[in-house]
Amino acid sequence: MSYAQRVADRRRAVFLRRARRVLLVALAAALMLIVEVSLISQLVSRNESAAVLAAQSPDDSGLTIPVPTIDQVEAEEPRCESSAAGDALTAKDPAALIEALGGAEQLREAVAAGAAPCVPLDDPVLPWVVVNKQRAIVPVDYAPQVQVPPSHVVEGGLRVDVVDAFERMVAAADEEGAGRVSLFSGYRSYATQVATYDAQVSARGESEADALSAHPGHSEHQLGLAVDVVACEAGGCGTIYQLGDTAQGQWLAENSWRFGWIIRYEDGQTETTGYDPEPWHLRYIGEELAAVYHEGGFRTLEEFFGLPAAPDYG
């Protein structure tokens, strides 16, 4: 199925869900009206003056019954208890689980409110898994199936199911005039992260290293869902530290969400993430959730999912 067809199917599903919710509200309103009419009839049968009843405001009569809103009807739906949610979780199908909970925005809101126990944030198979200084990868030696994308210059690859999303983003950046972007560092195994972190400690000391590199078992790179990227020109590619000042870096900050990616460690968020700003570090969470992340103005996954800040290791 093509991307356009998937988008059309999702929009159709959203339309049908919204139509169902509107129908539920209408039915609830009709039921409330029937109840209210019945109460009024009882009062009239007790010789209450029809004129007095007509003159009374809804507040004075005490008969006004609030009609539930769409949000209230949605909140009452046992989404996590549905067979669709159970099947999606068993299959570890993120798209199906999002649909079972009513959409990406509803999933995020439910998770942040603690109302979606069926949505794990610690399963490394799911694209929205949260790894930080307080949340280690489980199991610690997790290793996804990895593929090296064409747009790479140094090391590592990506989880096979997100290579296409990365390549489409890279192509769009070039086509839209920003320039060429290449993967500098992608997947790192637990063992590789041990060597990477130890090298940072040797060069900078533990405190500074912790602001730049994750402890083994706490690195998003081990998920295969994170990339460090560089800007490339005809004469070659720059370093990751130069990306933020390039047209490519600006384009990624504004557009990566369109392809399911977010800038994971933004400027001004160190007290939440525990890391210095890294405009070169992109994290894949899926197109639907990334759109909600962007439209909601979120700047960290911790805030997005209502999790505590993780500036230090526990």
The neighbouring-strand residues paired with 237 are: 232
The catalytic residue among 99, 109, 266, 278 is 278
Q: How far is Cα 125 from Cα 162, in angstroms, rounded to an integer?
A: 12
278 carries an active-site annotation: yes
Q: How far is Cα 291 from Cα 234, in angstroms, rounded to an integer?
A: 32
The neighbouring-strand residues paired with 229 are: 183
Q: How far is Cα 88 from Cα 65, in angstroms, rounded to an integer?
A: 38
Distances (CA, A) of 286 to 95, 225, 232, 258: 9, 10, 25, 9
Pairing of strands 158-159, 146-147: antiparallel
Q: Which residue pairs from 18-27 have beta carbons closer than 8 angstroms and sit at least 24 positions apart in sequence?
A: 21/70, 21/73, 21/74, 22/70, 24/70, 24/73, 25/67, 25/68, 25/69, 25/70, 25/73
Peptide bond into 139 cis (omega under 30): yes
- Catalytic positions are 278
